[in-house]
């Protein structure tokens, strides 16, 4: 672990502000929500990491579980009372994971995820060439000096829901006249969740693959489907000399929507879930709301835990693939969909394919299919465009 992190571990007071959102609604840390032991809160993790580095406790599977249960949602960063350490919390957990990865003591699902990326280039162990299958029939060109590269990522390339979302966004961008191309089978995994799981070396390799490809093709601007990819490309790629203008698709939509042709009315009650990697990680809370606000007839109802207080879907920090937090009643995705349904909304709007899938499954687990369903922002806009 970097010295600058190790030197501040003792400054955590374990006061517990990290467990709640800033408006105190309910437990807002997915790991603590599920496990309920103090050791699984951010404060508990800080104290355990310190004890581990000091030799007071040994490396163990349980410690590994504790470290890898964090979804890196940054609720703790938002809520921590101590200004000098709050910004480092998630970085510290990731650094500790890195130490675990080096020692090889990682939960099997984490090992399997990393291995799949390493061997197949994606967590689904599917052929790289299949990355472009989502675009079949849409007639989207390979990137060739277009204004934007539309980067789709692992979930958008291989997951059924992710692919549906990729198609919806691409259709919208195309019809809006946005100049963009895709990389299809030449996309490399963005590496965001690899990095979040502590595998810095593999992340660097993946990022460099992408950066080199983008540079080779002269890419200047990127639109990402996935906030995870958005985060990596915006904040981490520049450290590896990968400097591009990076946008999440909702940001592009929010700038296009004011000049768009008039939209049809969509009479629906919608509540919006702020994805962690757009919201707390990148301070982007408004793009989606501007888009939703532009759809006539749509009633936007905010959940009590919105914006910086949003409860993570549970898919971050690699948990989407590793499922360390599991599907139980206290899983954050199930708690979140209940919260969404309680607003009276029929649609839970999302801006992230991981959130989409997590909530889709959670709605089924909670038996809420009759009350609420998930749609991404682009699907809602496409709905408003249909004649």
Partner 1 sequence: MDNTFGRLAEIVGREYVSNAKEELFIYSRDQGVQDPHAPDYVVLPNTAEEVKEIILLANEKKIPVVPMGGGLVLSGLTIPLKGGIVLDMKRMNRILEVNETSRYAVVEAGTSQGMLKAYLEKNYPKLKHSLPDAPPVATIAGNIAIHGSGHLSQSEGGFHSEMVTGLEVVLPTGEILLLGSCSTVPYWFSRAPLPDLVGLFLGWNGTTGVITKVGLKLFPKPALHDVLMFMTEDVDTVPDVMYRVTATSMAEDVTFMITPKPAMLEGFQETIISIVANSEEEMELKKKIIRKSLSSYLETKEAGFLPIPPNMKAPILETPQKDLSRFADVSKGGGFEYVGGIMPVEKLPEACRAGMSIAQENNIPYSLGGRVIGRLHSVMFFFAYPFNRADEADMDRARQALEDTNEAVLKMGGIPWKAEASGQRLILKQMDPATYEFMQRIKKTLDPSGIMNPGNWEVN
Q: How far is the CB of 84 from partner 1 (least distance, A)?
A: 6
The neighbour count for residue 43, using CB atoms within 10 Å, is 22
Structure tokens that stand for 344 in this block: 């009276």
Residues in Cβ contact with 347 at an 8 Å cutoff, skipping those fewer than 6 apart: 268, 269, 270, 271, 372, 373, 374, 375, 380
Q: Of how many residues is the chain composed?
A: 387
Cβ proximity to partner 1: between 46 and 291 the closer is: 46
CA atoms within 13 A on the CB side of 327: 11
Distances (CA, A) of 184 to 157, 178, 214, 255: 8, 18, 13, 26
Cβ proximity to partner 1: between 60 and 118 the closer is: 60
Q: How far is the CB of 215 from partner 1 (least distance, A)?
A: 43
Q: How far is the CB of 328 from partner 1 (least distance, A)?
A: 8
Q: 186 with 213: CB under 8 angstroms?
A: yes
Q: How far is the CB of 18 from partner 1 (least distance, A)?
A: 9
Please tell me the count of residues contacting partner 1 according to CB under 8 A: 37
256 binds partner 1 (CB under 8 A): no
Q: How far is the CB of 304 from partner 1 (least distance, A)?
A: 7
Range 22-81, binding partner 1 (CB under 8 A): 23-26, 35-39, 44, 47-48, 51, 56-58, 60, 62-63, 66, 81
Site string for partner 1, 318-347 (x = CB under 8 A): ----------x-------------------
Cβ proximity to partner 1: between 56 and 160 the closer is: 56
Cβ proximity to partner 1: between 82 and 200 the closer is: 82
Binder of partner 1 out of 5, 19, 291, 347 (CB under 8 A)? 19
Residues in Cβ contact with 256 at an 8 Å cutoff, skipping those fewer than 6 apart: 176, 178
Structure tokens that stand for 11 in this block: 């400054």
301 binds partner 1 (CB under 8 A): no
Give the closest residue to 170 by CA, choosing from 159, 182, 161, 154.
182
Binder of partner 1 out of 175, 304, 329, 369 (CB under 8 A)? 304
Q: Using CB atoms within 10 A of its CB, is residue 290 exposed (0-12), middle (13-18) or buried (19+)?
A: middle
Q: How far is the CB of 305 from partner 1 (least distance, A)?
A: 10
Structure tokens that stand for 182 in this block: 């895709």
84 binds partner 1 (CB under 8 A): yes
Q: How far is the CB of 12 from partner 1 (least distance, A)?
A: 5
Q: How far is the CB of 340 from partner 1 (least distance, A)?
A: 16
Which window, 82-90, 171-179, 272-280, 359-367, contacts partner 1 (CB under 8 A)?
Answer: 82-90
Helices (H) and strands (E) in the chain, counts: 18, 8
Cβ proximity to partner 1: between 55 and 262 the closer is: 55
Binder of partner 1 out of 3, 55, 83, 108 (CB under 8 A)? 83
What's the distance, CA 203 to chain centroid?
16
Q: How far is the CB of 374 from partner 1 (least distance, A)?
A: 25
Report the alpha-carbon angle 154-285-67, nearest 5: 55
Distances (CA, A) of 76 to 72, 93, 221, 245, 293: 9, 11, 32, 29, 30
Residues making contact with partner 1 (CB under 8 A)? 10-17, 19-20, 23-26, 35-39, 44, 47-48, 51, 56-58, 60, 62-63, 66, 81-85, 304, 328
């Amino acid at each position: 672990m970097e010295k600058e992190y190790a030197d501040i571990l003792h400054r955590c007071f374990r006061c517990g502000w990290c467990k709640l959102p800033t408006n105190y609604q309910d437990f807002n840390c997915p790991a603590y929500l599920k496990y309920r032991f103090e050791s699984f809160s951010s404060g508990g993790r800080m104290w355990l990491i310190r004890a581990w580095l000091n030799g007071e406790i040994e490396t163990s599977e349980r410690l590994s579980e504790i470290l890898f249960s964090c979804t890196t949602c940054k609720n703790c960063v938002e809520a921590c009372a101590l200004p000098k350490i709050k910004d480092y919390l998630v970085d510290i957990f990731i650094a500790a994971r890195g130490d675990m990865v080096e020692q090889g003591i990682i939960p099997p699902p984490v090992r399997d995820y990393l291995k799949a990326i390493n061997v197949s280039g994606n967590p689904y162990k599917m052929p790289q060439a299949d990355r472009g299958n989502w675009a079949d029939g849409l007639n989207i060109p390979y990137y060739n000096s277009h204004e934007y590269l539309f980067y789709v990522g692992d979930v958008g390339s291989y997951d059924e829901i992710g692919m549906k979302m990729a198609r919806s966004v691409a259709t919208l961008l195309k019809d809006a006249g946005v100049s963009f191309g895709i990389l299809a089978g030449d996309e490399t995994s963005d590496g965001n969740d690899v990095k979040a799981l502590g595998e810095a070396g593999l992340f660097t390799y993946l990022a460099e693959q992408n950066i080199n490809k983008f540079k080779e093709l002269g890419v200047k601007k990127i639109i990402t489907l996935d906030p995870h990819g958005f985060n990596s490309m915006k904040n981490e790629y520049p450290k590896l000399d990968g400097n591009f203008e990076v946008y999440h698709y909702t940001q592009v939509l929010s700038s296009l929507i004011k000049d768009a042709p008039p939209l049809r009315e969509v009479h629906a009650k919608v509540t919006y879930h702020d994805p962690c990697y757009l919201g707390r990680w990148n301070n982007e809370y408004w793009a989606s709301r501007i888009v939703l606000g532009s759809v006539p007839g749509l009633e936007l109802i905010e959940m009590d835990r919105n914006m910086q207080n949003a409860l993570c879907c549970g898919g971050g920090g690699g948990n989407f693939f590793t499922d360390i937090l599991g599907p139980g009643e206290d899983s954050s995705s199930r708690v979140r969909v209940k919260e969404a349904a309680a607003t009276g909304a029929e649609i839970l709007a999302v801006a992230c394919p991981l959130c989409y899938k997590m909530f889709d499954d959670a709605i089924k687990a909670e038996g809420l299919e009759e009350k609420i369903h998930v749609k991404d922002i682009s699907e809602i806009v496409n709905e408003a465009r249909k004649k």
